[in-house]
Structure 1
Amino acid sequence: MKTFALGTSDLQVPNVVLGLMRIAEMPDEDIRSLVAAGREVGITMLDHADVYGGSMHRCEERFAQAVQLSSSEREQTIIQSKAGIVPDGPYFDFSHEHIVASVAGSLRALGTDYLDVLLLHRPDALVEPEEVAQAFDELHAAGKVRHFGVSNQTPGQIELLRKHVRQPLVANQLQLSITHAPLVAQGVAANMQGLDQSISRDYGTLDYCRLNDITVQAWSPFQAGFFDGVFLDDDRYPELNVVLDRLAAQYDVPKLAIATAWITRHPANVQVVLGTTNPERVRAAAQGSELPLTRAEWYELYRAAGYTVP
């Protein structure tokens, strides 16, 4: 498993992360098997959010009930959670009060004294960055959160926070897969009139994160689009699946590993955040952590997914 520093922090993190947003209704034993499968292949980082599970902190609570980390296991596990979404409404809330209360709820549910990483979950149009800074200062000084980041934010939104927040923002979690890759695709076809791919939808977020040592975390790494099913073995992507099958046979790995490797091959050191509840898929994806796709193979997958290489 490839590891690197998370942003400018001292955390050594794997480039494949186990997301636990779908464990609310799983039996304890199945949750333990899922987490154990990750540990076996070097996935030491877990991704949570306060809203996961149908009710606030439900998945965090289910994880703690099932796994019951010892003190030594807690030290060896990197726990990340998120705050900012209010499902009743819905709306977003980056107020000092909400952030602090959310972290308190996460710590109670997880049965831990601290979060290794807290992300602001989606942008709040009504953000008052001074309040975010106050919340971060309090949480950091109290030892409740060690590192901070964001999710789904543009360079301008991050810069607004950085003007006030003293702690480094070490991660930005964004949707990215072979078939949902505007982060990458716009730059490849920049300045091409009449090509939808050339339209900037994120103001150069990927390059901005690289320039500012902010780790990109890829959520929904196998989703075809915005929650409309996976592209693997999907009739909408016949050419892509032919290439995936061929490369999987060539490298003697599951095609899930090839889909993972398309992301991990990028020199930005992107983390792939898995959402599966199947231990075998966790093991399969982990095989893509260090799989050395060539440039030609990477671009072949990119073109097969429907993107243009001018």
Structure 2
Amino acid sequence: MEHTPPEPVLALAHAAARRHHLHPHQVRPLPAGEANHVLALGEHLLLRVPRTPEHAHDLAKEAQLLPLVHAAGLPVPHPVEHHTTPRPHMIQTLLPGHDLHGHHPTTRLLTDLGRHLTHLHHLPTHRLTLTPHQDDTTRPHTLIRRLHHTGHLDPDTAHWLHTWYRHLETHLPPHPPEPALIHGDLTPTNLLTGHDGTLTGIVDWGDAALADPAVDFAKLPPHRLTPVLNGYLTTLSREDDTLTWRARILHHQLTWALARLKDPHPRPDARHWSAPPHSRLLALLRLFTTHPEPTWRALTPPD
């Protein structure tokens, strides 16, 4: 659904259009994002205007890292202009295609996404001064005890969850993984596809961070993970333990799903798949009940 931006944002868009020799009638509002007002300028440019100062910082971060990611061959927008006055905004290239919200991605798209993530997670990051380190400090056993104490979990379920985590922990690496550049918000709404089902864009890099690479798989619906991970692992130059990677990803997915139980309020206006309070838990149920491959089944809790 398109939205009508505030008048100052429209005025900024019309000024940007004139600067690029476009008529104001060629300014077209696009679906609103949580962080930015988004408007198309003609057929090839996109204007993003942050809603808050915090979001302005995220946009500045994108302006710094997108050229690096673009140069690595990932299908991302290329920043054309980034300004801080009269209010922060960025003009970038408009990628073809539509987002995956409400659509079924092809296996080819998901596999290609995995290959691109391999390249992303191995980019040099020493020049990225605005990209924060993200450490997942959630302790799942503490979280389970709190959910039990507050009445969100019964004792038997809490015990079962502790058992599941202890099983996952036997497959985790002995030391924390080296931080890598991650997109941080790989929901279907930030993935673009063409009419032929190919991946045409990875957009909205405001949540990019230096973190455990497995975090990038935690915003994807679990039942879509297998082809993404297959593409990811086949691109690596070394042999990686498939079971270890799945354990790392499942550990994040399950922890985020349980953490959402503390905030059970629905958000009917949000477009991302994990906005409904119980979507993550139901998505894990879907993963383990729709004929998962043996590697996923090996990570279910023991009897």
* Alignment TM-score, normalising by the size of structure 1: 0.22
Task: Please report the TM-score for the alignment, with normalisation by the length of structure 2.
Answer: 0.23
Structure exhibiting the larger radius of gyration computed from Cα positions: 2
